[in-house]
Amino acid sequence: MLIKQRSEPLELTILKTLNARSLLNATDSVHFHNLDKGYRGEIMFDEYMKEVSNENNLILNDLLLEYKNTIFQIDSLFQFSNSLHLFEVKNFEGDFIIDDEKWYSIGIMRKEIKNPLLQLKRTESLLRQLLQELGSPFPIEAHLVFINPNFHLYKAPADQPIIYPSQLSRFREKLKSRSAVLKASNRKLAKQLLSLHMEDNPYARVPKYRYDGLEKGIVCPGCQGFYGAGSFKMPHLICNGCGMVEPYETAVLRSVAEIRMLFPGVKITTNLVFEWCGVFKSKKTIWKILAKNFKRVNQGKVSYYIDSN
């Protein structure tokens, strides 16, 4: 049973917007693409494991926990009657090799990467200590999952807790066949972990940005490019880049959400949204959408919009 869903990390959502509206420097750009790729891998994993979910398990995705001032992240945690399965999901693509316990990607160049097994061990150890403190010493089985079918590891060790793409389906069948009934202690632990989950990742790294430094326009959710001037086919916007069709009202509301995310606390006015969206010829369209979906505070030039409930 799915207890906690995964949602796109705020850090990634902000970086996505900044990437569409400005030129990220090389470091931020690499960070953004890594986060994006990692997240897509986790979504692939969720999708793949969907059918494991039943009344005999509790599934918690994307937990951010703390033990003794050390923050650690769990990609997925599957709780069965007598055991916990901890998953670290990697969306690595291409050829890799382990040499003397060091991991290398071997594309055009051989480049050392962080050893994902060490990361898994660290997470497992912190989780084990946390469970002990909570009085729930369930045994943990930790797994490093390579979700991308285009991943290959040379000199792959057989004695490590790794699940390769070609093993995933058998592994999933094994989990599905578990039929022991959950106990009260399982549900108690899931509740405890949920209550300990931290919403804000203190390690999130977002570059500094200013309103003036960001390009204005409506970003297409399909290709992350801007809807051009020729996109209007009322009541829709049609992207010249990817063919995405979106009602313009939805696009404006998305833009409002984007402004609020990037500039929390800013007053949502017709002028601001008009300028941010860029492509509209008349403020009247914006004004109508805001009036329909939000509650207006004040009249005339000093008016702004807040949530209606």
* Alpha helix stretches (DSSP H) within 78-213: 116-134, 168-176, 184-196
Show Cβ contacts of residue 149 under 8 Å, excluding neighbours closer than 6 positions.
165
Contact between 279 and Zn ion by CB under 5 A: the answer reads no
Q: What is the closest distance, in whole angstroms, from the C-beta atom of residue 251 to Zn ion in the complex?
A: 11
Show contacts with Zn ion in window 181-220 (CB under 5 A).
220
242 contributes a contact to Zn ion by CB under 5 A: yes
Pairing of strands 94-99, 151-154: parallel
Stretch that binds Zn ion, among 51-59, 76-84, 176-184, 236-244 (CB under 5 A): 236-244
Residue 180 engages Zn ion in binding (rule: CB under 5 A): no
245 part of the interface to Zn ion, by CB under 5 A: no
Report how far residue 46's alpha carbon sits from residue 19's, in angstroms, rounded to the nearest whole number.
26
Tell whether residue 237 is a contact of Zn ion (CB under 5 A).
no
DSSP H helical segments within 155-207, as ranges? 168-176, 184-196
- Euclidean distance between the first and the last CA atom of the chain, given in angstroms as a whole number: 32
Show the binding pattern over residues 80-119: x = contacts Zn ion (CB under 5 A), - = does not.
----------------------------------------
Q: Which is nearer to Zn ion, 226 or 274 (CB)?
A: 226
Q: Cα(82)–Cα(177) distance, rounded to whole angstroms? A: 14
Q: Which of 107, 135, 157, 222 binds Zn ion (CB under 5 A)?
A: 222
- Measured distance CA(239)–CA(229) in Å, rounded: 10
**Residue closer to Zn ion, measured from CB, 77 or 244:** 244
C-alpha span between 24 and 201 (Å, rounded): 21
Radius of gyration of the chain (CA): 23
Three-class secondary structure assignment of 130-172: HHHHHCCCCCEEEEEEECCCCEEEECCCCCCCEECHHHHHHHH
Q: What is the smallest separation between the CB atom of 246 and Zn ion, expressed in angstroms?
A: 9
Question: In angstroms, what is the minimal distance from the CB of 23 to Zn ion?
Answer: 19
Least distance in angstroms from the C-beta of 216 to Zn ion? 17
Nearest to Zn ion of 207, 228 (CB atom): 228
How many chain residues interact with Zn ion (CB under 5 A)? 7
Minimum separation from the CB atom of position 238 to Zn ion (A): 9
Residue placing its CB nearer to Zn ion in the complex, 136 or 224: 224
The nearest distance, CB 211 to Zn ion, in angstroms, is 24
Which residues are CB-neighbours of 50 under 8 A, at least 6 positions away? none
Can you name the residues that pair with 150 across neighbouring β-strands? none
Residue 144 near residue 163 (C-beta atoms within 8 A) = yes
Q: Distance between CA atoms of 87 and 187, rounded to whole angstroms? A: 19
User: Interface with Zn ion includes 49 (CB under 5 A)?
Assistant: no
238 scored as a contact of Zn ion (CB under 5 A)? no
Q: Which stretch binds Zn ion (CB under 5 A): 95-103, 198-206, 234-242, 300-308?
A: 234-242
Query: What minimum distance in Å lies between the beta carbon of 219 and Zn ion?
Result: 9
- Tell me whether residue 173 or residue 215 sits nearer to Zn ion (CB atom): 215
Instruction: Give the contacts of 15 (CB within 8 A, at least 6 positions apart).
Output: 24, 28, 31, 32, 35, 36, 206
Among 44, 206, 223, 259, binds Zn ion (CB under 5 A): 223
Give the count of beta carbons closer than 10 Å to the beta carbon of residue 269: 18
- Pick one of 127, 162, 239, 251: the residue that binds Zn ion (CB under 5 A): 239
> What is the contact surface with Zn ion in residues (CB under 5 A)?
220, 222-223, 239, 241-242, 244
